[in-house]
């Protein structure tokens, strides 16, 4: 590559190439950015002379020599022009150039480069992040959907990570809110062309059409485990309010909460049954003093977009009203999975009457049955 | 593999052994009782605790083929007991009265000329397992929605017959919607297939 051709590249192109080097994370990339313009940094990395920069060595930590050697050998094989050309269809912004979303430009842990598919302006209005465990309950997924739908319809963009479970449900609600609703904002931990998980394939396509899909990694980057906490910090940074719908006592959602508190974002948690492992984390957040969310509209109140929720009832449930036996079963079922023998003991109904009531509730979409376990559904 | 190999003997109650010189038919009437976890880690009944990926769960369930599952008449979901119920469990019904009820039901079956209701031949189903109109509607609905297969229908009627006999109702009365609904619930555990949460 001739020097003339190299100098024709925009500054951001060098950072795209640098972001694609093995073991490159946000902190290391920022340390490199502190050392000078992209073309010079690239030449230093490819020339194996990174040890000139103690700040970069500090950002790498242990085994700095190994890491920089890997960068060097990878950089020698990279064609910066071709890499840049491959990203032509995306909006690529560079930290400090004024092109980043404002929340990220100001962030103490900002991404050096940000790749956007779709409309980058989607993050400019009020935003809510809806996060939670991949292993959620049906009730949790339904509530996430309702929050996504209610917020999007009220003009609040829904930020989420496109993971299975709560993330996916929230975005589906957002997409179902109609064409003039606020856009979905997806933040992923791999290159924008590396769909993960594969079950999210349709969201991966739909989110950029209606809103924006963001990543700090170049095309082709695989979804390594360490990239998900990093992704979660971007979700927290982009949100005005972070809602945790369900979370176990450990896991990604709680990491997002830490990042959100760190950035003074409002955090809300949905109270759950005390024995449900999917609510252990959220209930503990409430014990720690996090604000509870008891209805999707509470997000709008927190954002100052709605008056506090009046205690009136919403529109009636469209499902056929259950029979007396059906109501007894629903009451006994509560919001945790149960088996038929547990229900028989709780209701005192004979198994035959119970089976008839379950068939009625199933036909009217009041319950969901799976492999001998019954769960109540919040809506048809 | 074993479950699949047992499919034919289970249906025909005989084992056919064919070797170079002879083919022998041996009686093989047996009751097959099997247990499985809901997922590889066994915690799928408690969302949030289960550590299995959706794909791992689906793979695990596929190991039991539909045709094999279709031959189990009773499938019962079992919840993990919590600590308090293990330490201070309520006493269940003693075995002696249960055994008495089973003996009575068996005697009723014998009076129909079969060893057990499971052996009622397809040709005698209408005669021995007549249906109330409510039961008829419930079965028609299940067939229409694909909840029951044709084989399942005959089996549900036999199980419902037994449930009615155990309840001590008039052995000649048509089967009620309750026993038919319970027989179907016991058969499919209420779940037709694995649905994803989101």
Q: Any chain B CB within 8 A of the CB of A147?
A: no
Find chain A residues with C-beta within 8 A of B77's C-beta: 339-340, 371-373
Nearest to B198 among A165, A280, A374 (CB): A165
Average pLDDT of every residue of chain B: 81
User: Whole-angstrom Cα distance, residue B164 to residue B131?
Assistant: 12
**pLDDT tens digits, residue range B77-111?**
777 776 666 666 667 788 999 999 999 999 999 99
Nearest to A358 among B141, B176, B185 (CB): B185
Segment A105-132 shows an average pLDDT of: 94
Q: Any chain B CB within 8 A of the CB of A246?
A: yes
Q: Do B77 and A352 touch (CB under 8 A)?
A: no
Q: Any chain B CB within 8 A of the CB of A173?
A: no
Q: How many CA atoms are closer than 13 Å to the CA of B129, on its beta-carbon side? A: 30
Q: Do B79 and A342 touch (CB under 8 A)?
A: yes
Residue A308 tokens read as 């506090």
Q: Any chain B CB within 8 A of the CB of A299?
A: no
Find chain A residues with C-beta within 8 A of B184's C-beta: 355, 359
Q: Who contacts A141 (Cβ-Cβ below 8 Å, separation ≥6)?
A: A165, A166, A169, B197, B198
> N- to C-terminal Cα distance for chain B?
33
pLDDT score at A308? 67
Q: Partners of A244 in the beta sheet?
A: A131, A269
Q: Where are the alpha helices (DSSP H) in chain A?
A: 3-7, 11-19, 26-33, 38-46, 54-60, 64-77, 80-86, 102-105, 138-153, 166-175, 201-210, 227-238, 252-262, 280-287, 297-302, 324-333, 340-347, 351-363
Find chain A residues with C-beta within 8 A of B148's C-beta: none
pLDDT at B190 over 60: no
Q: Partners of A131 in the beta sheet?
A: A244
pTM: 0.68
CB within 8 Å of chain B, chain A residues 199-218: 199
Find chain A residues with C-beta within 8 A of B138's C-beta: 356, 359
The H or E element spanning position A128 is strand A127-131
Q: How many CA atoms are closer than 13 Å to the CA of A148, on its beta-carbon side? A: 31
Q: Which of B7, B45, B145, B50 is nearest to A371 (CA)?
A: B45
pLDDT at B193 over 50: no
Find chain B residues with C-beta within 8 A of A166's C-beta: 198
**pLDDT tens digits, residue range A317-350?**
788 889 999 999 999 988 888 888 889 889 989 9
Q: Kindly indicate the confidence band of residue B64, based on its pLDDT and cuts at 50, 70 and 90.
A: confident
Q: Choosing among B48, B79, B132, which should be mutated to test the A contact, i.e. which has the most A CBs within 10 A?
A: B48
Q: Who contacts A166 (Cβ-Cβ below 8 Å, separation ≥6)?
A: A130, A131, A132, A133, A134, A136, A140, A141, A144, A160, A245, A246, A253, B198
CB within 8 Å of chain B, chain A residues 316-355: 337-342, 350-355
B51: left (phi over 0), alpha (psi -120 to 50) or beta: alpha
Q: Kindly indicate the confidence band of residue B47, based on its pLDDT and cuts at 50, 70 and 90.
A: low
Distance from the Cα of A107 to chain B's closest Cα (Å) equals: 32
> N- to C-terminal Cα distance for chain A?
61
Q: Choosing among A352, A377, A378, which should be mutated to test the B contact, i.e. which has the most B CBs within 10 A?
A: A352
The distance from CA B194 to its chain's CA centroid, rounded to whole angstroms, is 19
pLDDT score at A215? 97
β-pairing verdict for A212-215 and A184-187: parallel
Let me know: does A284 contact B54? Beta carbons within 8 Å.
no
Average pLDDT of every residue of chain A: 90
Q: Do B176 and A352 touch (CB under 8 A)?
A: yes
Q: Do B197 and A356 touch (CB under 8 A)?
A: no
Candidate from A113-117, B26-30, B151-155 with smallest mean pLDDT? B26-30
**Residue located via tokens 């369900």:** A246
**Using CA of residue B117, residue B119, residue B120, residue B122, what is the dihedral sign?**
positive
| Global ipTM | 0.73
């Amino acid at each position: 590559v001739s020097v003339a051709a190299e100098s024709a590249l925009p500054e951001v192109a060098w950072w795209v190439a640098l972001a694609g080097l093995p073991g490159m994370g946000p902190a290391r990339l920022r340390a490199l950015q502190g050392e000078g313009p992209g073309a010079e940094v690239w030449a230093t990395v490819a020339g194996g002379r990174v040890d000139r920069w103690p700040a970069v060595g500090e950002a790498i930590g242990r085994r700095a020599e190994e890491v920089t050697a890997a960068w060097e050998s990878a950089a020698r094989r990279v064609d910066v022009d071709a890499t840049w050309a491959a990203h032509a269809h995306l909006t690529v912004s560079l930290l400090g150039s004024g092109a980043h979303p404002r929340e990220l430009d100001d962030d103490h842990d900002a991404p050096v480069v940000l790749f956007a598919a779709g409309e980058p302006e989607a993050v400019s209005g009020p935003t809510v992040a809806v996060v939670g465990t991949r292993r959620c309950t049906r009730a949790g997924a339904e509530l996430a959907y309702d929050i996504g739908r209610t917020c999007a319809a009220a003009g609040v963009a829904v930020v989420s990570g496109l993971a299975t479970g709560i993330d996916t449900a929230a975005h589906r609600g957002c997409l179902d809110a109609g064409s003039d609703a606020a856009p979905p904002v997806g933040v992923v931990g791999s290159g924008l062309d590396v769909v993960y998980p594969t079950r999210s394939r349709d969201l991966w396509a739909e989110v950029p059409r209606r809103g924006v899909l963001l990543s700090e990694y170049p095309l082709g980057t695989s979804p390594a485990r360490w990239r998900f906490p990093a992704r979660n910090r971007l979700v927290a940074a982009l949100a005005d309010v972070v809602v945790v719908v369900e979370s176990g006592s450990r896991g990604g959602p709680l990491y997002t909460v830490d990042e959100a508190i760190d950035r003074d974002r409002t955090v809300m948690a949905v109270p759950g049954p005390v024995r449900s492992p999917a609510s252990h984390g959220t209930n503990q957040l409430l014990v720690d003093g996090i604000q509870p969310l008891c209805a999707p509209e509470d997000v709008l109140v927190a954002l100052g977009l709605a008056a506090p929720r009046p205690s009136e009832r919403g529109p009636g449930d469209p499902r056929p009203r259950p029979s007396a036996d059906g109501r007894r079963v629903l009451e006994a079922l509560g919001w945790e999975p149960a088996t038929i023998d547990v229900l028989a003991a709780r209701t005192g109904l004979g198994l035959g009457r119970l089976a008839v009531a379950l068939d009625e509730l199933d036909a009217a979409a009041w319950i969901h049955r799976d492999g001998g376990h019954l769960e109540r559904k919040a809506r048809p | 593999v074993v479950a699949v190999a047992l499919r034919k003997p289970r249906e025909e109650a005989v084992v056919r052994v064919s070797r170079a010189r002879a083919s022998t038919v041996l009686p093989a009437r047996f009751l097959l009782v099997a247990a499985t976890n809901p997922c590889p880690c066994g915690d799928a009944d408690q969302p949030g605790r289960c550590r299995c990926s959706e794909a791992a769960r689906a793979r695990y369930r596929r190991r039991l083929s539909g045709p094999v599952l279709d031959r189990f008449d009773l499938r019962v979901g079992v919840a993990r007991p919590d600590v308090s119920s293990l330490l201070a469990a309520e006493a269940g019904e003693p075995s002696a009265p249960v055994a008495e009820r089973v003996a009575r039901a068996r005697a009723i079956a014998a009076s129909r000329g079969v060893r057990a209701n499971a052996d009622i031949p397809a040709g005698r189903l209408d005669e021995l397992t007549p249906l109330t109109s409510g039961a008829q509607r419930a079965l028609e609905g299940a067939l229409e929605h694909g909840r029951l297969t044709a084989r399942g229908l005959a089996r549900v009627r036999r199980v419902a017959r037994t449930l009615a006999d155990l309840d001590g109702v008039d052995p000649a009365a048509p089967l009620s919607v309750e026993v038919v609904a319970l027989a179907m619930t016991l058969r499919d555990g209420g779940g037709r297939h694995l649905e994803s949460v989101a």
